[in-house]
Structure 1
Amino acid sequence: MSKKPARAGRRTEALTKAQIVEAAIAILDSEGVAALTFRTLSTRLATGSGAIYWHIANKEELLGAATDHIVAAAMDAAKVPNRKPREAIRAIATAVFDAFDAHPWIGGQLSLAPGRTGMLQVFEAIGGRLVALGVPAKDRFDVWSALVNYIFGVAAQNADNARRAEEGRTREDMLGTLAEAWGQLDASQFPFLHEVAVQLPGHDDREQFLAGIDLILDGALERRP
């Protein structure tokens, strides 16, 4: 007996979890968390929802897998053999910053579940480098806490700003408007804001982010006995 021909548009090869996660990330990047459903995923993968449920139980699990995949990729990108501890911390911070910039939705996912594997990898990597850097044991928790909160907080804020810019206004427009508003403030009451207003429109977010990392590390190392 001859086999029935496969229905047009249907996948003929076996579906893998990696393919599901990659397709989910594509939807999340282009349309956001609300758009990710098993129906839209089935359409994109040209398969039935049952094939997806075989690998992924629900949307929460799918979001977790997608988030961990991106963070793991960022950590892999930051790995360079024999890199000095300070350089390694900067590389990890930059990788997280860039991951948030490319995938703005992961900030919300990590804040909802700070115990995810990807998050724990970043936590451990930062903490281990502080030991190697020579930060005193009595200060490590405070320095680590300041660093990870700064890294994830600033990365998430930058991603949110980028998302707002996509809604109709460019980053340069928004910063230009803010700089103009600060420039019109009473200079006697807001001298500092007057001073930095001219730096707002042209500053590089990534460079400013890394400057903050250096300030935290410099302060930590000054406390060594």
Structure 2
Amino acid sequence: MKPKARTRRSEALSKERIVEAAIEILDTDGEETLTFRNLTAHLSTGSGAIYWHVADKHELLAAATDHVIARVMAEVVKEADPQGAIRTLAMGVFDAIDAHPWVGTQLSRNPWQHAVLRILEGVGGRIQALGVPGQDQFNVATALMSFILGIAGQYAASARFASSNTTRTEHLGAVAAKWEQLDPAEYPFVHQVAKILPEHDDRDQFLAGINLILAGIKSAL
């Protein structure tokens, strides 16, 4: 029995298990509930064992975000076609943020964290494979990164402003109603898109943007 107890304790106190537990808390109750007290209760351990692996909440959030993005990148490497890989990467990040809204907040909060470098390397490698000239690779890669991570900031902002008591359609419907109150002579386009805002599909809209960028890259080669 003693060896089994030691094995369970070792698994529970590994950094990977700590990160997985943090993700469970973040997904269930949100970032504000991720405290080391809640984490120790969740893992049935002491805070000292957690501090051995993770210095503070900021490091834990970064590790949790990197864990999620690493899973996205694992799917990207299976795609041989560079354009297909970029789509897989972009939609993987989109879906990860949709499933874990706190990831969007974290990605927009710290642009130099390791999770962002994973995305940059994934995008940059496929830009090279597409045959983009060396002097243009950085600009093209960062343009794509700006679009992909822009959705992270957008989702983070939406999460802050949307009420937990309203659905997405209700929230966007309220936004559209405010847009329709603007002067149509001054905001003709805003009035036009207000009609489709509540029911539009974020994922389809995001993929359309990625396809536009990829088409632009292809035409420039």
TM-score by length of 1: 0.84
Query: 1:53 and 2:34 equivalent?
Result: no
Q: Distance in 1 between matches of 2:185 and 2:67?
A: 51
> Does 197-206 or 132-141 show the bigger shift?
132-141
Which residue among 67, 84, 87 is the counterpart of 2:65?
67
Number of the residue aligned with 1:153:
150
1:106 matches 2:96: no
Aligned to 1:117: 114
- Rounded to whole Å, the distance in 2 between the matches of 1:34 and 1:189 is 41
Query: Structure 1 CA distance, aligned partners of 2:55 and 2:185?
Result: 60
**Overall identity of the aligned pairs, in %:** 52
Deviation sequence 1:119-160 (CA, Å, 0-9, x none): 211101101111112223333222211110110111331244
Asked if 1:17 corresponds to 2:5, the answer is no
Q: 1:101, CA displacement in angstroms? A: 1.6
How far 1:92 moved relative to its partner?
Answer: 0.3
Shift of 1:45: 0.9
Which segments of 5 or more consecutive residues in structure 2 lack a partner in the other structure?
A: none
Q: 2-side partners of 1:186 and 1:13: how far apart?
A: 64
Which whole-Å deviations, capped at 9, do the CAs of 1:34-70 have from their partners, x for residues lacking one? 3222211111111122222232233232222212111
- The answer on whether the counterparts of 2:105 and 2:156 sit within 8 Å (CA) in structure 1 is no
Structure 1 segments unaligned to the other structure (5+ residues) = none
Is the radius of gyration larger for structure 1 or structure 2? 1
The structure 2 residue matched to 1:89, chosen from 70, 86, 89, is 86
Aligned equivalents of 1:158, 1:34: Cα separation in 2: 17
Distance 1:182 1:89, change over 3 A: same
Query: Tell me, what secondary structure is at the counterpart of 2:9?
Result: coil
How many Å apart are 1:166 and its aligned residue?
Answer: 4.9
Q: 1:46 to 1:215 in 2, by over 3 A?
A: same
Q: Is the 8 A contact 1:104 1:163 kept in 2?
A: no
**Residue of structure 2 equivalent to 1:132:** 129
Specify the SS of the correspondent of 1:212: helix
CA RMSD of aligned residues (A): 2.4
Residue 39 of structure 2 corresponds to: 41
- CA, structure 1 residues 194+58, in 2 after alignment: closer, same or farther (shift >3 Å)? closer
Report the alpha carbon displacement of residue 25 of structure 1 after superposing the two structures with TM: 1.1
Query: Which amino acid counterpart does residue 137 of structure 1 have in structure 2?
Result: G
The question of whether the paired residues in 1 share the 8 Å contact of 2:176 and 2:197 is answered with yes
Higher helix share: 2
